[in-house]
Amino acid sequence: MGTVIITAFYAGILAIILVVLSVRVVVARVRRASSNEPRAGGEDELLPVIRGQGNFIEYVPLAVVLMGFLEFTGSSTNLIHGLGIALVVARVLHPFGLRLEPGPTVLRAGGAVVTWIVLLIAAITAIQGFLSANPT
Contacts of 99 (CB under 8 A, 6+ apart): 48, 49, 52
Q: State the Cα–Cα distance between residues 123 and 55, nearest whole angstrom.
A: 19
| Rounded Cα–Cα distance for residues 6 and 4 (Å) | 6
pLDDT for 97: 79
pLDDT by 10s per residue, the chain, length 136: 678 999 999 999 999 999 999 998 898 878 777 765 555 544 477 888 888 899 999 999 999 999 999 999 999 999 999 999 999 999 999 888 777 666 778 888 899 999 999 999 999 999 999 999 877 6
- The second-level CATH assignment, the architecture, of 5-27+45-133 is Up-down Bundle (1.20)
99, 103, 108, 114: CA torsion to nearest 10: 160
Residue ranges per structural domain of the chain: 5-27+45-133
What pLDDT is attached to residue 36? 59
